[in-house]
């Protein structure tokens, strides 16, 4: 059976554009045209899958601290209990990724490559605002089809900086921020306990408590907290800094002796064999 295509769909399929590398979304226009004809063609558009993460960051006295949980989910399934969500960009710039894990991973790799090329061409260390500009322009070009929410933190010659970048390319710069499905709980702790020029230990505890609040308030976040401390001297990654969820110990034996449960009634039925068939199989 041949399904006639509408006039809106034909130009989208007939135009051939050369591939320039990076992410490719050449079927988006085709899919949108098919969705308009879905009732006639009995097509069901794909359902967006729910993702979960809690990432956070703040600026303290000497630099930036980034934090993230370690659970990766696929809808209602925990796909990975030890996922690394803090990504290397340069020696003094790191970022946390939320949303689609593959998009966040490869966006940060592409950003790291571009910043290293920029550093070699300019012969100087890249600035954090440069990383923010490159990432927001990249995401805006694809109009939200790259499902990555990113927190960029780093230190350059102008001091510590913290940016939050959303999938459509919009950005914010604040002294503290949180993204992901557990961001509401993390932001609540930041707004209650954050203060400028915090000491290192106090700032680490606040980031840890904020991500932990997101873990216990959101089913998509879990396992524990990873931290990354960035100063003028460099970055220090604390993988597996805390374990928010530990397996409990069995306090008693749950084996009950025979006869502990009373039998309320007993019925015995005798079954009669009606027919029996034996088949011989040739196994040679």
Closest CA to 135 of 155, 160, 118, 115: 115
Instruction: Report d(CA 167, CA 148) in Å as an integer.
Output: 5
Gap between the Cα atoms of 107 and 123, Å rounded: 24
Angle at 183 between CA 177 and CA 185, to 5 degrees: 110
* Strand-pair category, 176-180 with 171-173: unpaired
Annotated active-site residue 53? The verdict is yes
Residues 84, 88, 94, 98, CA torsion sign: negative
**Which residue out of 53, 130, 177, 187 is catalytically annotated?**
53
**C-alpha–C-alpha distance, residues 237 and 65, integer Å:** 10
Tell me the catalytic residues: 53
């Amino acid at each position: 059976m041949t399904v006639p295509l509408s006039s809106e769909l034909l130009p989208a399929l007939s135009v051939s554009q050369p591939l320039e590398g990076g992410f490719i979304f050449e079927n988006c226009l085709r899919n949108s045209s098919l969705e308009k004809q879905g009732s006639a063609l009995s097509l069901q558009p794909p359902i967006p899958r729910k993702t979960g993460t809690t990432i956070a960051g703040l600026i303290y006295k000497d630099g930036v601290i980034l934090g993230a949980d370690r659970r990766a989910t696929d809808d209602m399934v925990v796909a990975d209990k030890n996922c690394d969500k803090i990504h290397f960009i340069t020696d003094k710039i790191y970022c946390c990724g939320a949303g689609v894990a593959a998009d966040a991973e490869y966006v940060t790799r592409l950003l790291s490559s571009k910043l290293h090329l920029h550093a070699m061409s300019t012969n100087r260390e890249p600035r954090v605002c440069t990383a923010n500009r490159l990432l927001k322009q990249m995401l805006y070009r694809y109009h939200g089809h790259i499902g990555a929410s990113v927190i960029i933190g780093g230190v350059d010659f102008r001091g510590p900086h913290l940016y939050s970048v959303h999938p459509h390319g919009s950005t914010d710069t604040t002294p503290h921020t949180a993204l992901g499905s557990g961001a509401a709980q993390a932001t609540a702790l930041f707004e209650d306990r954050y203060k400028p020029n915090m000491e290192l230990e106090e700032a680490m505890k606040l980031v840890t408590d904020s991500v932990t609040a997101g873990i216990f308030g959101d089913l998509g976040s879990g396992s524990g907290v990873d931290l990354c401390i960035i100063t003028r001297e460099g970055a220090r990654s604390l993988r597996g800094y805390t374990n928010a969820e530990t397996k409990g110990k069995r306090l008693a034996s749950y084996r009950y002796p025979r006869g502990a449960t009373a039998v309320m009634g007993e019925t015995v039925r005798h079954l009669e064999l009606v027919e029996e068939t034996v088949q011989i199989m040739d196994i040679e």
